[in-house]
C-alpha cells in the first residue's frame, strides 16, 4: 500500500508537537471567541484580481479601491448565485488550513470552507469575521463566501510537515454543513483529500444532520486517522431552537445524526454551546438535553455560557428586546458593560452541566482512537527507550 506523504522519512530536526495543557473537555467556543476563531483577516490573500467600482460593491463602507487584504478580495469575488434570499460569492484564497496560535483552544489548525453562515443563529459570535471584509456583521447569514478550490488547496496544505501531529478543527467559525454545502460541496471536497492521508487528528463541529451524508468518508478517514464529530445543540425545544437558530436543522434531526454516526462507528458527542442565560440554562432544560444526548448514543457532553463580541451584541440585543424583554436589562449589564458573564454565574452553570453529565454517564472529552494520530519518530524512540518515567 502506498504511503501518504505524511509518513515519509523525516529528519531528526522535525518540528516537535506544540506543548500545552492536556485537553480535558470540549468547552472550546467561549474561550476561542474571546481570542478569535483563528479565521484570520489575511487567510485569503491570493494575487489581486480586478476590483469592482464603488457602485458595484453596495455592501461596503469604503470605495473598493481603498480596500486591502481580504476585504479587497471579497469585493472582487464573483457572485455565483442567489437562493433563499442569500447571495453566494466565490472567494479566492491561498490556503484552507489556518493556523491558530491561541493556547486557550486544543487545536492548532482550523478549516472553514465558508465565510458567513446561512443558519443565522441570533447569538453567533463569528459575525465579526465579516467585518474583516468591510461587511457589517448583520449580513453574516445573507452574504456567504465560498472558498475557491478547497479540495486542491487542502491537499497541498496537508503535504506540509508543519501540520503533522497537530489537531485540525473543521467548523470553528462557520458551519461546514450549512445549506451552501449542498450547492458547492466544499466540505466534502476537503474530506475526500483527507481520506488519502494517514495519521491526521481531526474534529468536525456542526449543527447540521447533513454530516451523515459523508459517513462513507468519515469511516474511511477513521480507518487511518483520528476523527470526532461534535454536534452543537442549544436546546431540544423545537420552537425555541427555531427562534434562536432560524435556518438550522431541528434538534431532533441533529440527535438522529448523532445516532447514525455512532452506529457507523464514528466518535460523536454533543456541545451545549452556547448556554443562554435565562433562556436555555435551567436545570430542567440541561437535564433534558443531556438525557437526549445519552439516548442518541453521544459519548460526551460539554457546555459553556454565551459570549458576545460587539458585532454579535449589536445583532442579538434587538432580538432579545423583542422576544425576551424581561431579560434585556440583565444582558445589557453583563454583556454591554463587562462583555462577559460574572464568574459566579459561569461557575454555577459549569456545576449544572457537570451534574447532568455525571447523571447520564456522559464523557467530558473526545473518545477518538488517538492511536491512529501521527506521532513523532523522535518521541517514539524516547518511549521505547524507557526514558519517560
Q: How does pLDDT run across 156-175, given as a tens digit for each residue? A: 999 986 777 789 999 988 99
All three cell numbers of 158, joined, read 496537508
Instruction: Note the pLDDT of residue 131.
Output: 77
Instruction: Note the pLDDT of residue 52.
Output: 38
**Number of alpha carbons in the 13 Å side-chain half-sphere of residue 240:** 13
- Region of residue 69 (left: phi > 0; alpha: psi -120 to 50; beta: else): left
Q: Check if the beta carbon of residue 266 is closer than 8 Å to that of residue 227.
A: yes
If residue 42 lies in a helix (H) or strand (E), which one and from where to where? none
- What's the first-to-final CA gap in the chain, in angstroms? 36
Taking each helix axis from N to C terminus, what angle separates 215-224 and 251-263, rounded to the nearest 10 degrees?
40
**Number of alpha carbons in the 13 Å side-chain half-sphere of residue 153:** 19
Instruction: Note the pLDDT of residue 56.
Output: 41
CA distance 284 to 224: 41
Strand partners, 344: none
* Beta-carbon contacts of residue 337 (< 8 Å; ≥ 6 apart): none
CA distance 4 to 55: 49
pTM above 0.95, yes or no: no
Q: What is the CA radius of gyration of the chain?
A: 21
All three cell numbers of 146, joined, read 465560498
CA distance 363 to 228: 13
Residue 31, classed as helix, strand or coil, is helix
Kindly report the average pLDDT of the chain as a whole number.
Answer: 78
Give the number of residues written for the chain: 389
Burial 106-121 (b: 16+ CB within 10 A, else e): bbbbbbbbbbbbbbbb
The one-digit pLDDT tens for each residue of the chain (389 residues) are 433 333 333 333 333 344 443 333 333 223 333 334 565 554 443 333 333 333 344 454 555 555 434 444 444 455 555 566 799 989 889 999 988 876 666 778 999 999 999 999 999 988 988 676 778 778 889 999 999 999 999 999 999 867 777 899 999 889 999 999 999 999 999 999 999 999 999 999 999 999 999 999 999 999 999 999 999 999 999 999 999 999 999 999 999 999 999 999 999 999 999 999 999 999 999 999 999 999 999 999 999 999 998 889 999 999 999 999 999 999 999 998 756 789 999 999 999 999 999 999 999 865 444 555 554 333 333 333 333 33
Q: How does pLDDT run across 73-126, given as a tens digit for each residue? A: 444 455 555 566 799 989 889 999 988 876 666 778 999 999 999 999 999 988
Burial class (CB in 10 A: 0-12, 13-18, 19+), 23: middle
CA distance 355 to 132: 40
Q: Check if the beta carbon of residue 212 is closer than 8 Å to that of residue 260.
A: yes
Q: Check if the beta carbon of residue 308 is closer than 8 Å to that of residue 33.
A: no
Domains for the chain: give ranges and CATH numbers: 21-384 (3.20.20.70)
E strand segments, the chain: 78-83, 86-91, 97-99, 109-111, 114-115, 143-147, 167-170, 201-206, 226-232, 267-275, 301-305
Burial 295-321 (b: 16+ CB within 10 A, else e): ebebbbbbbbbbbbbebbbebbbeebe
All three cell numbers of 169, joined, read 478543527
What are the angstrom distances between the C-alpha of 235 and each of 204, 244, 245, 319?
A: 20, 10, 10, 18
Q: Check if the beta carbon of residue 222 is closer than 8 Å to that of residue 228.
A: no
Q: Check if the beta carbon of residue 365 is closer than 8 Å to that of residue 23.
A: yes
E strand segments, 35-96: 78-83, 86-91
All three cell numbers of 278, joined, read 435565562
Instruction: Note the pLDDT of residue 302.
Output: 96
Burial class (CB in 10 A: 0-12, 13-18, 19+), 379: middle
Amino acid at each position: 500500500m502506498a504511503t501518504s506523504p505524511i509518513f515519509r522519512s523525516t529528519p531528526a530536526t522535525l518540528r516537535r508537537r506544540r506543548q500545552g495543557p492536556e485537553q480535558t473537555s470540549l468547552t472550546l467556543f467561549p474561550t476561542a471567541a474571546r481570542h478569535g476563531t483563528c479565521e484570520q483577516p489575511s487567510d485569503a490573500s491570493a494575487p489581486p484580481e480586478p476590483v469592482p467600482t464603488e457602485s458595484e460593491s453596495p455592501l461596503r463602507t469604503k470605495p473598493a479601491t481603498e480596500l486591502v487584504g481580504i476585504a479587497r478580495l471579497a469585493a472582487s469575488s464573483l457572485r455565483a448565485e442567489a437562493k433563499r434570499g442569500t447571495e453566494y460569492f466565490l472567494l479566492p484564497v491561498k490556503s484552507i488550513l489556518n493556523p491558530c496560535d491561541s493556547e486557550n483552544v486544543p487545536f492548532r489548525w482550523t478549516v472553514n470552507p465558508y465565510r458567513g453562515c446561512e443558519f443565522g443563529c441570533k447569538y453567533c459570535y463569528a459575525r465579526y469575521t465579516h467585518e474583516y471584509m468591510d461587511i457589517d456583521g448583520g449580513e453574516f447569514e445573507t452574504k456567504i463566501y465560498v472558498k475557491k478550490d478547497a479540495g486542491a488547496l487542502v491537499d497541498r496544505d496537508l503535504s506540509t510537515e508543519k501540520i503533522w501531529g497537530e489537531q485540525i478543527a473543521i467548523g470553528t467559525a462557520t458551519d461546514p454543513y450549512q445549506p451552501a454545502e449542498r450547492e458547492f460541496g466544499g466540505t466534502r471536497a476537503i474530506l475526500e483529500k483527507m481520506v488519502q492521508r494517514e495519521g491526521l487528528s481531526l474534529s468536525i463541529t456542526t449543527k447540521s444532520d447533513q454530516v451523515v451524508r459523508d459517513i462513507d468518508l468519515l469511516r474511511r478517514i477513521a480507518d487511518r486517522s483520528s476523527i470526532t464529530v461534535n454536534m452543537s445543540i442549544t436546546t431540544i425545544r423545537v420552537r425555541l431552537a427555531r427562534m434562536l437558530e432560524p435556518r438550522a436543522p431541528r434538534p431532533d434531526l441533529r440527535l438522529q445524526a448523532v445516532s447514525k454516526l455512532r452506529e457507523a462507528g464514528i466518535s460523536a458527542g454533543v456541545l451545549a454551546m452556547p448556554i443562554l442565560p435565562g433562556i436555555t440554562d435551567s436545570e430542567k432544560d440541561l437535564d433534558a438535553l443531556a438525557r437526549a444526548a445519552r439516548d442518541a448514543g453521544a459519548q460526551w457532553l460539554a457546555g459553556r455560557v454565551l459570549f458576545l463580541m460587539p458585532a454579535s451584541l449589536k445583532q442579538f440585543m434587538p432580538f432579545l428586546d423583542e422576544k425576551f424583554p424581561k431579560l434585556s436589562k440583565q444582558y445589557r449589564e453583563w454583556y454591554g458593560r463587562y462583555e462577559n458573564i460574572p464568574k459566579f454565574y459561569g461557575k454555577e452553570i459549569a456545576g449544572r452541566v457537570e451534574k447532568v453529565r455525571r447523571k447520564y454517564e456522559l464523557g467530558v472529552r473526545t473518545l477518538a482512537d488517538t492511536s491512529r494520530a501521527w506521532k513523532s519518530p523522535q518521541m517514539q524512540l524516547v518511549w521505547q527507550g524507557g526514558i519517560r518515567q
